[in-house]
Amino acid sequence: MPPDTTDETRFLNRELSWLDFNARVLALAEDQARPLLERAKFLAIFAGNLDEFFQVRVSGLQEQVAAGLRTRSPDGLDPATALRSIREQVRSLVDRQSTVFTKEIAPELEEAGICFPEWGELADDDRAELARVFAERVYPVLTPLAVDPAHPFPYISNLSLNLAVVVEDPATGETRFARVKVPPTLPRFVALPDDERFVALEQLIAAHLDRLFPGMVIVAHHPFRVTRDVDFELDDEDEDLLEAIESVLHRRRKGAQAVRLEVDTSMTDEVLTVLCRELELAPASVVTVDGPLDLSGLWDVYALDRPELKDEPWTGRTDARLTATEDQPVDLFRVLRAGDVLVHHPYDSFATSVEAFVRQAAVDPHVLAIKQTIYRTAGAESAIVGSLVDAAREGKQVVALVELKARFDEQANIERARSLEEAGVHVVYGLVGLKTHAKILLIVRQEEDGIRRYCHVGTGNYNTQTATLYEDLGLLSADEKLGDDLTELFNHLTGYSRPTQYRRLIVAPEEMRGALRARIQAEAAKGASGRIVLKMNSLVDPTLIDELYDASNAGTQIDLIIRGVCCLRPQVPGFSDHIRVRSIVGRYLEHSRIYRFGTDDVEAEYLIGSADWMPRNLDRRVEALVPVTAPNLKVRLAEILTVDLADDVLAWDLGSDGTWRKVDTVRGVETHERFRELATERAQVRG
């Protein structure tokens, strides 16, 4: 029987769905058709993803359990039950991770000349070389910490790799426990002189423990790693947001509760008992890894100059409309006055579109002001940040709305905010209680016929680095109404004003939820002639999911392209028959959000922007969606969705039982390959 609208089985669990996504990432590492170092890279991504999951999601559930909360999530699981399911699934995933590394990737890398030898397998000259490295680079930064009545158990920092060492005093026969932290400032894997053989740093330290504990007998040593809660909440009453963020970062480093202990199979029960007791962790929080801990260190191996073991490099193409000629550079303002431009990264170059847009504005003497949101940048070397600094020094009015609460980028954004302020940029931090996630840019220019505004609204960050790895969209426009809207939105974010009625933009938290519901209901009212196609990172919001169920029951055809978390249960007879869910996971991180309502490719409404369908995006963030109205650009968006729905190489389908299954390859349509072909064609033909 299909679930009814009061039945919790109509939702899938958010945390378990996220683990399903990371399992799809792990499947890329298991894919033997991929280049070897790309497989190693996906192992590193999988490991980093799992770290963040424990730091944020698992820590939150453990806090609820500790507080005695039994409130059930929309899928019906209480925190304790969810944790049990998570731990079971994590054990299975970690076993797969260890197997693919130790049984497949490491042996195949060895065949390619890239080896991970154990200390006991090294020749004498190799050991001598590593002993020199230890003495010069490692030993000076090590600090052995004893644990005894005079030395309390040391604080184990988040994500740190450590050695638990048991030593014996030969004079008294007494055994003692000590901890040695593996320095995070050193490479995870130490390269031998040939740069193709790597020894795990903890093995190098373990082989020289006699230098750290002279006169003692080394009884045993075991690697372990601790993960802590980093999801501290801000007090919205804090007047100085910068100071509040720095306080959170300090608490994150010094006072966070442990949520996971990773050990390898050599760990003894005695040492494990000590660690669990001192870290205040239950045995259920221990993850045993049959292989090296912290495979995120494989990024160092991926950095090797071995192009034959990697994907062929891709350089984003420049749309013919944005291409300079031999006679003169492209004038982006002139191009936008002739019509909107849609850029699709990484297939379309970020440097020759968005970066060039800001750069031209920075040096153009007719530009009066530049206003931009900054969520995650590429660091001090960011070309866009450099352009904003140059514009301010040229006397332009430059406003940067820096989101200090961008998780894991808080410190970088604090540094960015200070450097911008020093250059004369007006830096603001957004609205109290709301995270500014919208990706918006406004340029105000004095022209012969008056003031004209140029705009960019995107789905991804203004980040040069991620623009080559993340799939994202951006709309460049000189549309007058959109310019009015962005002016109003920036004024709302930087000054004192009530939210306004926008003419083009759909803004959260004021109106986005209602606007999306209205559009779903409008398609549902058409019955079988209605059509909805949604592409996003995460679909979690129960209210909008129920609206999609209602539309399906009305006969509306619905296709969902969800990269990560999906709490909707599709293809349930009599309930969600007309909803299909798929996920594209491959070389590039699918990150764009495209929302299509309507059947005809040109007549349909298309919205793009920064907001996923999650309560936090709709209710607790400043988000912006922009309609794409130009017929030629609507055709582009329809083409993107068509390719995504046709993919049978990277795609996974979600079944009614909540299980993701790899789509069988029949036609060989590979999304990322096809978009590279289309970008190359656009670069050659003027539109």
Q: Any idea what DSSP says for residue 100?
A: I
E strands present in 267-326:
286-289
Please choose, from the candidates 258, 178, 242, 239, the residue with its C-alpha nearest in 3D space to the C-alpha of residue 210: 178
Q: Identify the three-state secondary structure at position 64.
A: helix
Answer whether 378's CB lies under 8 Å from 405's CB. Answer: no
CA distances from 197 to 115, 124, 164, 208 (A): 5, 15, 26, 19
Answer whether 346's CB lies under 8 Å from 469's CB. Answer: yes
CA distances from 159 to 229, 253, 293, 296 (A): 10, 10, 11, 11
Report the DSSP beta bridge partners of residue 168: 175, 217
Q: Is 437 a catalytic residue?
A: yes
Burial group, residue 235, by CB count within 10 angstroms (0-12, 13-18, 19+): exposed
Give the whole-angstrom CA distance, residue 348 versus residue 350: 6
Percent composition of the chain: helix, strand, coil (DSSP 3-state, to 5): 40, 20, 35
Answer whether 561's CB lies under 8 Å from 645's CB. Answer: yes
37 Cβ neighbours under 8 A, 6+ residues apart: 301, 302, 304, 306, 309, 310
E strands present in 478-571:
506-508, 531-536, 557-562
List the catalytic residue out of 221, 437, 456, 578: 437
486: enclosing H helix or E strand: helix 480-494
- Strand pairing report for 439-447 and 651-654: unpaired
Please choose, from the candidates 478, 444, 93, 136, the residue with its C-alpha nearest in 3D space to the C-alpha of residue 287: 93
Helices (H) and strands (E) in the chain, counts: 21, 26
Give the whole-angstrom CA distance, residue 96 versus residue 457: 40
Provide φ and ψ at 208, rounded to 5°: -125, 30
Q: List active site positions.
A: 437
